[in-house]
Structure 1
């Protein structure tokens, strides 16, 4: 089993370079970052995690800027999004951002994707919440086309462009893995069609995880890698996830200043 962390990097927590170095020094294998471009002041969509939206949601740095900073001070740490809000991102720019990260990191980029929950936020990007899953599908497929074709083109309901040159191409062959977030009734459809792995949030729709993983791998006809993020740092939780067939655990790392973060990482490192 692999071990990493999932977190929100903000302007009032540990910095990207310090975090990247600390993780690699302690033997962690990956860093996955959450994304929110902004939080609308008037918010009607309930947060799935509870009644009050935590402070770090309002203050996230751009994940690809953070991951690039972490890449510059590490050699082995895998650098991922958990999750990138693809329905709020232009696919041509997203393809270039991830491929650029993959290039400068020597092939360590991972793209975790999802459609998001905050309807007000996505509407500010011109996205209609009712069609966001169809939009997610097309944008991911378009990104893969841009990564893998010399003259890439895509013609869909939401994404449409004639042949283009898009560089750089990713270092990884055929491209960085795309992990599908969520645990809803149609999530496995997306994993099977255009995902390279499944990445649910611990405790949100994962109560029967072993059975879910078995079903997914049976439907896909292959051993789909499973990464679980926002995992509590407790040994019994890790053991249960291992028994369920999980390949990678991303421990939940609170957004705190550097000193507090390093102390907590020291404790988490004991679980490795």
Structure 2
């Protein structure tokens, strides 16, 4: 089982840029697999600087640490702008970027004016497929119910002309619809909750995906202070990656304590 961290991009004791670089180097040195940014819902409800920009700092301070977004609200941004932002981050990260998608409707505080013009399901798949076209095609074309373009030139392209993607499952029917239209994700994310909630989410994914769902990567996010106590349960449940969530950018000593607590 891999391990990683997620955090709000809020400075703890030193300037934010320095704190990110120091913590990222420590995370890589201790063998953590991924640095996740909080999702759009968590950022809107709390204090955090822009995760896309801050993850660039993580990427530039490391060589192998994956960088990832844990809950990107597909319905909250225009496809062309978001495709360019993510492709640029992927370029800075040398292909180490992965995205976790929040498939639910955006809250009113984050929704775009055109959200009411299309159903949530159509909006999610339109945004996702449009971004894929912009990442993969030299002159991209796409026609959907809420977004359309023809012969668009979008630079930079992410390495490999695509990104590994994960979903936060909340509604089985919506997830099934996204999979039917956009294909299966590379993994799914369980945000907080206990082992029973994890099992329920796994059943949702299995129902939406069908045969082969057990091969998808499962990532479980827990508060950092709960991390040591759930390691064994996560491993027994077949979790692919267990992620410790901090309310601030952890300092290197906190990362050392987290890793040592895991093996205590």
- TM-score, normalisation: structure 2: 0.81
SS at match of 1:111: strand
Could you say if the C-alpha distance between residues 138 and 55 of structure 1 is closer, same or farther in structure 2, counting changes exceeding 3 Å?
closer
Separation of aligned partners in 1, 2:171 and 2:253: 35
Could you say if the C-alpha distance between residues 166 and 123 of structure 1 is closer, same or farther in structure 2, counting changes exceeding 3 Å?
closer
1:139: which partner in 2? Answer: 127
Summarize deviations over 1:213-236 as a string: whole Å, max 9, x none. Answer: 655664456722222223554344
Q: Which of 230, 250, 260 does residue 237 from structure 1 map onto?
A: 230
1:151-170 matches, within 5 Å, as 151-170=139-158
2:198: which partner in 1? Answer: 206
2:216: which partner in 1? Answer: 224
Q: Which of 89, 107, 111 does residue 119 from structure 1 map onto?
A: 107
SS at match of 2:253: helix
Shift of 1:60: 1.8
Could you say if the C-alpha distance between residues 124 and 56 of structure 1 is closer, same or farther in structure 2, counting changes exceeding 3 Å?
closer
Shift of 1:107: 1.0
Q: Which of 143, 166, 184 does residue 179 from structure 1 map onto?
A: 166
Could you say if the C-alpha distance between residues 118 and 104 of structure 1 is closer, same or farther in structure 2, counting changes exceeding 3 Å?
closer
1:43: which partner in 2? Answer: none
Residue-pair matches, total: 252
2:246: which partner in 1? Answer: 253
What is the root-mean-square deviation of aligned Cα atoms in Å? 3.0
The answer to which structure has the higher helix fraction is 2
Separation of aligned partners in 1, 2:11 and 2:116: 30
Shift of 1:65: 0.4
Contact 2:75 2:105 in 1 (8 A): no
Could you say if the C-alpha distance between residues 211 and 89 of structure 1 is closer, same or farther in structure 2, counting changes exceeding 3 Å?
closer
Could you say if the C-alpha distance between residues 132 and 103 of structure 1 is closer, same or farther in structure 2, counting changes exceeding 3 Å?
same
Could you say if the C-alpha distance between residues 23 and 251 of structure 1 is closer, same or farther in structure 2, counting changes exceeding 3 Å?
same
Summarize deviations over 1:135-178 as a string: whole Å, max 9, x none. Answer: 1221011111111112211111111111211122111x352101
SS at match of 1:23: helix
Summarize deviations over 1:208-257 as a string: whole Å, max 9, x none. Answer: 3554565566445672222222355434422222222221121112226x
Q: Which of 58, 63, 71 does residue 83 from structure 1 map onto?
A: 71
Shift of 1:183: 2.9
